[in-house]
């Protein structure tokens, strides 16, 4: 489907594209910076005080309020800076003079008593060349590099590919570094950032070296197929993860950071100064999380498997209809599910209490006792979770040969024996990965807890991930929250190490 | 739990009764959202009867006529569509390598994919925000595409790898004999044979992107860049909830995914597990 010789045209084109986009971005940045400075000197427009407003819920980054004028679009890349530094430029789109049209905030300085004083001029439409274009160009170019280096063996492929790759990575990191210095409080993280900026290319350079050496190895094709996924994952998962991991060792409230070593971990593991049975203690939350995960997975698997076994009967009619209808909860976005069930569990107008009183039972204040609130979360999550296990079990059941059961019938086995001795062992290899994944997902199931019980009463139904979120976004102790998430990660890693042994054994037995 | 055997009709009757009541129980909340959407009011429905009593389309009209609805629908469609294409392509190539090649780091790589599922997603928000900011992709659909396709890859890779494992190697060996290259084998043999699994993978990628809400709400602040779920959240306030609008919007958001589920449900059962059971 493609030429057999390394075509130079495609990589050259990619290089041109990348270079062009880079030049355009640089030119545009330089121009807009010059314009900004010029306007700043001439700024005599209205000035307004803007202050951060606190909001519960999903507000991240923090929203800002302009006294006397409405903020039309509170976000700009620079809002991110505000999370980290109070001295950064505030968002650009304000209606400062109140004429209904957005103005551009040009200059800001911290005002006494919090907030910023902003000077503004009417907004000139921002130049529309997006960084996205550059990103696409670079990714495309990287892709070409991988393609060239791996798809075509030959004398030129290795060095050329390595050259393009190095060039691209250099471009990406110089852009990233320039943006980082713009946005991060470089001075505050003194030294750490330049160090990281120097380390990342070094590490990548090393990896590249190892990579090019492996070009000669017989595994080249394998790496070529994996490379695209790996590149994406390393930028969008590895980098954020490294960032979060590093943050765990800093005290960081969004403005100032201070290296604190392991003290966050020590504090968390020392139960944060609470009794172990206190809802804010790590061990209490861990207990809730483990119960949450175990009960959910047990319910998902047993209901899913049960329904699958019932649906399996070959002469049963309307199987397809049942299957389709039972999949519905899976297709509903889970935050919608959560909000609907929260409404259903409402003590006053909730449907469930109406049902209870229709049956002559007493109404339950679902969210005022830990146990009932936990049950409400559990019911919601079971509703949305069993269809996945049902489908997995249905698929796995299909692959069990029928004659095994016929043979068992001949031997006079009863239903339970057949289930225990044929169905379960043969289901295991299919169910095990699903169970591992399912438990990891449930362990980190944020939406349901955060939206259904909302931790009521007194955070006693929070699981670890929700607790970490609250520490980060409600108390703004980002470093502490990062330490929390590192602990979550380590716990799950431990869990998977244990289950991996089981699955390895299974793979050896059945693979 | 009983192992089913071919039984007389009354036994099936019991099965049907159980399945019907279980399905009814499962569908109850959904029915009831439909009822709420069809009522011209914003209050919560409190009657136990799940069947709609009025058929007013006012809520749907309101949702559709809200500012930027079509733009946001377009955003959702674009983001989900591109995510599906990118995610499936990346997952297919990676899964193929994991399934067909034995190379150093294979086991570690597979484990790494699983491990990424363990990072507390919510806590990735701050750093991800930074990364997208560096790339200049905040408030840009491409940023969400990148995030969604990378987050859906690990699961898709595991699923596809399992499916590829079931495709007999003999097919490829004979193709190799005939002089086909590795790439031709991948495109012409493996991919067409794995259509069910790829369909399911595509469904998951699409669903990840279409339903996701927290990250979209975090990275998008311009109303014109919102996806539908973010829009939907605005009907649920801290103190009051416009239940009618929310229900109508929830249905509008859920319908495409449900449609896909129904269309692909035959593949779903096979595609999801065929691989893991090589028994």
Residue B120: list chain A partners with CB under 8 A.
444, 446, 464-465, 468, 485, 488-489
How sure is the predictor about A44, in pLDDT bands with cuts at 50, 70 and 90? very low
Is residue A400 scored above 70 in pLDDT?
A: yes
- Say if residue A95 is in the same domain as residue A139: no
A375 pLDDT exceeds 90? Answer: yes
- Residues A34, A249: Cα–Cα separation, whole Å: 39
A73-82, A337-346, A493-502, B36-45: the lowest-pLDDT one: A73-82
Cα-Cα-Cα-Cα dihedral of A298, B113, A131, B206, to 10°?
Answer: -50
Strand partners, A52: A64
Neighbours of B97 (CB within 10 A): 25
Mean pLDDT confidence for A318-340: 87
Task: Report the pLDDT averaged over residues A262-286.
Answer: 83
Q: Tell me which of A100, A122, A144 is where a domain ends.
A: A122
Token pair recorded at residue B210: 């279409």
CA distance B59 to chain A (A): 17
Per-residue pLDDT band for A27 (boundaries 50, 70, 90) equals low
Residues A139 and A248 in one domain: yes
* Other CB atoms within 10 Å distance of the CB of residue A37: 12
Chain A residues 297-316 within an 8 A CB cutoff of chain B: 305-307, 309-316
- Rounded (10°) angle between helices B243-273 and B195-211: 160
Same domain for A290 and A396? yes
Query: Chain A contacts of B221, Cβ < 8 Å?
Result: 73-75, 79
d(CA A173, CA A180): 10
pLDDT band at A12 (very low <50, low <70, confident <90, very high): low
Residue A392 has its nearest CB partner, among B118, B236, B272, at: B272
What is the predicted pLDDT for the residue at A60? 37
pLDDT recorded at residue A295? 96
Q: By the CB < 8 Å criterion, does A186 face chain B?
A: no
* Same domain? A298 vs A196: no
Q: By mean pLDDT, which of A238-242, A456-460, B202-206, B214-218 is the weakest? A: A238-242
Which chain A residues contact residue B90 at CB under 8 A? 228-229, 232
**For an interface test with B, which of A140, A331, A394 has the most B Cβ atoms less than 10 Å from its Cβ?**
A331
Please tell me which of A54-58, A303-307, B62-66 the model is most confident about, judged by mean pLDDT.
A303-307
Please indicate, yes or no, if residue A473 is contained in any of the structural domains: yes
Question: Which residue in A226, A320, A441 is closest to B97 by CB distance?
Answer: A226
Sign for the CA dihedral angle at B195, B197, B198, B199 comes to positive
Residue A3 forms part of a structural domain: no
Rounded CA-CA distance A182/A346 in Å is 47
* Whether residues A254 and A147 fall in one domain: yes
Question: Which among A236, A306, A334 is the nearest to B150, CB-wise?
Answer: A236
Assess whether pLDDT exceeds 70 at residue A472: yes
Q: Is the pLDDT of residue A386 over 90?
A: yes
Restricting to A residues 152-171, those with a Cβ less than 8 Å away from any Cβ of B are none
The verdict on a CB contact (< 8 Å) between A344 and B29 is yes
Chain A residues with CB under 8 Å of B204 CB are none
Are A448 and A387 found together in one domain? yes
Tell me the nearest-neighbour CA distance from A159 into chain B, angstroms: 22
Contacts of B259 (CB under 8 A, 6+ apart): none
- Least trusted range by pLDDT, from A48-62, A238-252, A374-388: A48-62
Q: Per the domain annotation, does A482 fall within a domain?
A: yes
Q: How far is the C-alpha of A78 from the C-alpha of A51, rounded, in Å?
A: 15
Q: How far is A161 from chain B (nearest CA, A)?
A: 19
Q: Enter the CATH code of domain B61-273.
A: 1.10.3720.10
- A107-116, A160-169, A278-287, B84-93, range with the lowest pLDDT: A107-116
- Nearest CB to A485: which of B27, B47, B120? B120
| A313 and A440, same domain (yes or no) | yes
Q: Is any Cβ of chain B less than 8 angstroms from the Cβ of A174?
A: no
Q: Which residues from A are below 8 Å from B248, CB to CB?
A: none
Confidence label for A214 from pLDDT (cuts 50, 70 and 90): low
CB distance A354–B134 less than 8 Å?
Answer: no
Same domain for A199 and A77: no
Instruction: Output the CA–CA distances (angstroms, integers) from residue A449 to A119, A161, A276, A338, A374, in the order listed.
Output: 43, 48, 21, 8, 9
Same domain, residue pair A111 and A172: no
Residue-level pLDDT at A90: 37
Per-residue HEC secondary structure of A457-468 comes to: CCCCCCCHHHHH
Chain A / chain B CB contacts < 8 angstroms: 359
How far is Cα B244 from Cα B45, in angstroms, rounded to an integer?
9
- Please tell me if residue A9 touches chain B, with a CB cutoff of 8 Å: no
Mean pLDDT of all residues in A401-426: 85
Q: Is the pLDDT of residue A298 over 90?
A: yes
pTM of the shown model = 0.70
pLDDT of residue A288: 94
What is the number of other CB atoms lying within 10 angstroms of the CB of residue B263? 12
Same domain assignment for residues A229 and A117: no
| Mean pLDDT (chain A, rounded) | 68
Q: Which of B15, B44, B102, B122 to probe by mutation at the A interface, max A CB count within 10 Å?
A: B122
Q: Do B15 and A316 touch (CB under 8 A)?
A: yes
Tell me, yes or no, whether A169 lies in a domain.
Answer: yes
CA distance A350 to A334: 19
- Kindly indicate the confidence band of residue A168, based on its pLDDT and cuts at 50, 70 and 90: low
- The total of structural domains in chain A comes to 3
Record: contact B135-A131, CB cut-off 8 A: yes
Q: Give the one of B101, B236, B273 whose C-beta lies nearest to A219's C-beta.
A: B101
Q: Taking CA atoms, what residue in B is nearest to A401?
A: B279
Using one digit for the tens of pLDDT, what is the confidence trace for A128-166? Answer: 334 445 555 556 556 655 555 555 444 444 555 555 555
* pLDDT above 90: residue A297: yes
Q: Where are the domains of chain B?
A: 61-273
- Interface predicted TM-score (ipTM): 0.84
Q: What residues of chain A lie within 8 A of the CB of B135, using their CB?
A: 131-132, 135, 176
Regarding whether A170 and A63 lie in a shared domain, the answer is no
Nearest to B156 by CA among B86, B108, B253, B75: B86
What would the mean pLDDT of A9-38 be, rounded to a whole number? 56
Whether A471 and A432 share a structural domain = yes
In angstroms, the CA A433 to CA A393 distance is: 12
Contact predicate A309/B1, CB 8 Å: yes
Res A300: pLDDT = 95
CB contact under 8 A, B272 and A232: no
Domain that holds residue A229: 9-23+131-259
Q: Kindly report, residue by residue over A69-124, the tens digit of the pLDDT.
A: 333 333 332 332 232 222 233 334 445 555 555 554 444 444 555 555 555 444 44
Q: Is the pLDDT of residue B74 over 50?
A: yes
């Amino acid at each position: 489907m493609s030429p057999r010789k390394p075509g130079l045209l495609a990589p050259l084109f990619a290089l041109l594209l990348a270079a062009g986009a880079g030049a355009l971005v640089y030119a545009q940045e330089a121009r807009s910076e010059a314009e900004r400075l010029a306007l700043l000197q001439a700024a005599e427009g209205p000035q307004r005080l803007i202050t951060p407003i606190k909001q519960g819920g999903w507000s991240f980054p923090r929203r800002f309020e302009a006294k006397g004028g409405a903020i039309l679009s509170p976000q700009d890349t620079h809002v991110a800076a505000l999370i980290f530094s109070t001295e950064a430029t505030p968002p650009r789109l304000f209606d400062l003079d109140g004429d209904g049209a957005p103005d551009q905030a040009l200059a800001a300085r911290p005002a006494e008593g919090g907030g910023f004083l902003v000077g503004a001029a009417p907004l000139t439409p921002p130049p529309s060349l997006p960084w996205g274009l550059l990103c696409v160009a670079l990714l495309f170019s990287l892709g070409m590099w991988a393609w060239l280096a791996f798809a075509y063996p030959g004398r030129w492929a290795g060095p050329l590919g390595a050259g393009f790759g190095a060039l691209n990575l250099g471009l990406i990191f110089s852009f990233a570094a320039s943006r980082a210095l713009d946005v991060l409080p470089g001075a505050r993280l003194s030294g750490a950032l330049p160090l990281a900026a120097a380390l990342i290319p070094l590490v990548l350079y090393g990896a590249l070296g190892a990579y090019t050496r492996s070009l000669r190895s017989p595994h080249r094709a394998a790496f070529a197929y994996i490379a695209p996924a790996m590149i994406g994952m390393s930028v969008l998962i590895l980098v954020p993860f490294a960032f979060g991991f590093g943050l765990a060792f800093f005290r960081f409230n969004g403005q100032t950071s201070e290296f604190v070593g392991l003290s966050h971990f020590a504090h968390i593991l020392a139960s944060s100064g609470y009794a172990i049975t206190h809802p804010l203690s790590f061990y209490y939350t861990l207990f809730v999380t483990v119960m949450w995960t175990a009960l959910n997975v047990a319910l998902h698997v047993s209901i899913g498997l049960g329904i699958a076994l019932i649906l399996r009967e070959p002469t049963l009619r309307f199987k397809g209809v049942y299957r389709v209808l039972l999949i519905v909860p899976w297709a509903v976005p889970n935050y919608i599910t959560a909000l609907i069930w929260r409404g259903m569990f409402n003590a006053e107008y909730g449907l469930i209490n109406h049902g209870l009183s229709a049956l002559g039972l007493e109404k339950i204040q679902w969210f005022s006792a830990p146990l009932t609130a936990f049950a409400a979360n559990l019911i919601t999550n079971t509703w949305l979770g069993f269809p996945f296990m049902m489908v997995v079990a249905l698929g796995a059941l299909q692959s069990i040969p029928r004659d095994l059961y016929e043979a068992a019938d001949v031997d006079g086995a009863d239903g339970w024996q057949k289930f225990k001795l044929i169905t379960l062992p043969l289901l295991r290899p299919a169910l095990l990965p699903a169970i591992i994944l399912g438990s990891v997902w449930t362990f980190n199931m944020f939406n349901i807890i955060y939206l259904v019980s909302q931790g009521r009463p007194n955070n006693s139904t929070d699981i670890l991930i929700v607790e970490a979120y609250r520490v980060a976004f409600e108390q703004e102790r980002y470093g502490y929250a990062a330490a929390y998430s590192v602990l979550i990660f380590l716990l799950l890693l431990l869990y998977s190490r244990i289950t991996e042994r089981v699955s390895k054994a299974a793979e050896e037995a059945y693979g | 739990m009983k192992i089913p055997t071919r039984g007389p009709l009354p036994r099936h009757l019991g099965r049907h009764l159980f399945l019907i009541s279980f399905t009814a129980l499962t569908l109850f909340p959904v029915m009831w959202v439909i009822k709420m959407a069809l009522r011209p009011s914003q209050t919560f429905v409190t009657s136990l009867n799940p069947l709609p009593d009025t058929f007013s389309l006012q809520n749907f009209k309101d949702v559709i006529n809200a500012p930027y609805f079509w733009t946001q629908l377009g955003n959702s469609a674009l983001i989900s569509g591109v995510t599906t294409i990118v995610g499936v392509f990346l997952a297919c190539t990676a899964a193929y390598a994991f399934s067909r090649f034995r190379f150093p780091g294979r086991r570690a790589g597979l484990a790494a994919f699983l491990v990424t599922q363990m990072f507390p997603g919510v806590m990735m928000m701050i750093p991800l925000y930074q990364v997208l900011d560096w790339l200049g992709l905040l408030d840009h659909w491409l940023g969400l595409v990148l995030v969604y396709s990378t987050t859906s890859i690990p699961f898709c890779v595991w699923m596809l790898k399992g499916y590829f494992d079931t495709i007999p190697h003999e097919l490829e060996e004979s193709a190799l004999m005939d002089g086909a290259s590795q790439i031709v084998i991948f495109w012409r043999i493996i991919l067409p044979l794995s259509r069910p699994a790829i369909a399911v993978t595509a469904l998951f990628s699409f669903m990840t992107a279409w339903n996701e809400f927290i990250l979209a709400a975090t990275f998008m602040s311009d109303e014109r860049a919102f996806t539908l779920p973010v829009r939907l959240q605005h009907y649920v306030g801290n103190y009051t909830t416009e239940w009618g609008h929310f229900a109508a919007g929830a249905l509008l958001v859920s319908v495409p995914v449900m449609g896909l589920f129904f269309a692909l449900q035959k593949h779903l059962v096979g595609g999801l597990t065929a691989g893991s059971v090589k028994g």
